[in-house]
Amino acid sequence: MAHIDDPQTQKANTDYIRTAMNEPYLEKDYELNLARRWRDQEDEKALHELVQAYTRLAISLAMKFKHYGLPMGDLIQEGNIGLMEAAKRFDPERDLRFSTYASWWIRAHVQDYILRNWSIVRTGSTAAQKSLFFNMRRLRNKIEQRNETERLSDKGRAEIAKELGVKITDVEAMEGRMSGSDQSLNATISDDGEQDWQGMLVDDAPTPEEIVTSMKDAQSRSKWLKSALGDLNDREQVIIRKRHLDEKAVTLEALGDQLGISKERVRQIEKRAMEKMKNSIVHHSDRGVMGLL
């Protein structure tokens, strides 16, 4: 849904735009002189005059994005931030008009603001996706008008994908995102207004009862494991701990070198120790936790 400003805000925006549009244009030499004064002397008066003269540019570029449904005042403000960034970075020795340089920064700030605020779901995280987002509507309208249709065909999606250098699946996903809108989880879905979307969400987290049961089971398993380890001799305990309980398992070969026995002998002792532990655990639990090991 497009944002609609209240009458007071609309008037303030109109007054601001009218004032900006009445600012005089700058001659190239004077413009470069202002830029040098700001760069070399940090002359804030020169910066103010340079930025004020090109506020009309920020407004003009921001208004091109008004159909995204965001507050016009916010778009203009982002454009002004881009304008200030351009003034900070502008090099007057490149013999380039400030307006040409500033246009890129203004557009970049406005577009970034739109991507951050158009939806609660982040839209466009790569350069290709951003290009798709900001060109999708224009290209879709162009194709639909040419083909005299109200819907984009598979052929049209392929055409957009080719022109923008993206996958057809990306075009389809963006088409779906731009055709929908964010919905509040508190929005009602029943006639009596008592049931909302939030109430339809499935919570996959364990219940308090399941959490308590899991904690008790973990304590029991830990007790059984400790008891089973106690039934092993010293060498068997070393092998089981280093092969199964330490954060990083030791290889049979390395363990054999450490204990002075062959790799095959380590494997045999490990197998025998595992059987002893399983028998011990089964003895302590009638539920059988063979999967523990």
Residue ranges of domains in the chain: 1-118, 124-180, 208-292
Q: How many CA atoms lie within 13 A of 240 on its CB side?
A: 22
Residue 61 · residue 79 · CB < 8 Å: yes
Highest mean pLDDT among 63-67, 101-105, 199-203: 101-105
Task: Supply the pLDDT for residue 280.
Answer: 79
Question: What integer is the mean pLDDT of 181-204?
Answer: 58
Can you say whether residue 165 is alpha, beta or left, with left for phi > 0 and alpha for psi between -120 and 50 degrees? left
The two domains 1-118 and 208-292 share their CATH topology (first three levels equal)? no
- Among the listed residues 241, 212, 211, 214, the one whose alpha carbon sits nearest the alpha carbon of residue 225: 241
Res. 278 pLDDT band, cuts 50 70 90? confident
Separation between Cα atoms, residue 252 and residue 258, nearest integer Å:
10
Residue 281 · residue 228 · CB < 8 Å: yes
Task: Supply the pLDDT for residue 103.
Answer: 94
Note the pLDDT tens digit of each residue in 61-75: 999 888 888 888 999
Task: Supply the pLDDT for residue 259.
Answer: 86
Q: Does 76 have pLDDT greater than 90?
A: yes
Res. 206 pLDDT band, cuts 50 70 90? low
Mean pLDDT (the chain) is 80
Task: Supply the pLDDT for residue 230.
Answer: 82
Q: How many CA atoms lie within 13 A of 45 on its CB side?
A: 0
Percent over 70 (pLDDT), the chain? 78
Res. 44 pLDDT band, cuts 50 70 90? very high
3-class SS of residue 148: coil
Burial class for 60, CB neighbours closer than 10 Å (0-12, 13-18, 19+): middle
Tell which CATH architecture fits domain 1-118.
Up-down Bundle (1.20)
Task: Supply the pLDDT for residue 211.
Answer: 62
Task: Supply the pLDDT for residue 188.
Answer: 60
Res. 32 pLDDT band, cuts 50 70 90? very high
> CA 55 → CA 19, 84, 107, 213, 268, distances in Å?
10, 10, 13, 65, 81
Burial class for 210, CB neighbours closer than 10 Å (0-12, 13-18, 19+): exposed
Separation between Cα atoms, residue 257 and residue 242, nearest integer Å:
13
| The model's pTM | 0.52
Task: Supply the pLDDT for residue 90.
Answer: 92
Tell which CATH architecture fits domain 208-292.
Orthogonal Bundle (1.10)
Question: What integer is the mean pLDDT of 10-36?
Answer: 90
Residue with more model confidence, 216 or 261: 261
Task: Supply the pLDDT for residue 292.
Answer: 42
Separation between Cα atoms, residue 61 and residue 78, nearest integer Å:
11
Q: Does 46 have pLDDT greater than 90?
A: yes
User: b/e per residue, 219-232, with b = 16+ CB within 10 A?
Assistant: eeeeebbeebbeeb
Q: Does 57 have pLDDT greater than 90?
A: yes
Q: Residue 290 carries which DSSP code?
A: G
Q: Does 199 have pLDDT greater than 80?
A: no
Please write down the HEC assignment for all residues of 269-287. HHHHHHHHHHHHHHHHCCC
In 92-199, alpha helices (H): 98-117, 127-147, 154-164, 168-179
Highest mean pLDDT among 61-65, 120-124, 200-204: 61-65
Question: What integer is the mean pLDDT of 108-134?
Answer: 75
Note the pLDDT tens digit of each residue in 80-89: 999 999 999 9
Task: Supply the pLDDT for residue 244.
Answer: 83
Neighbours of 103 (CB within 10 A): 19
Q: Per DSSP, what are the bridge partners of residue 188? A: 196
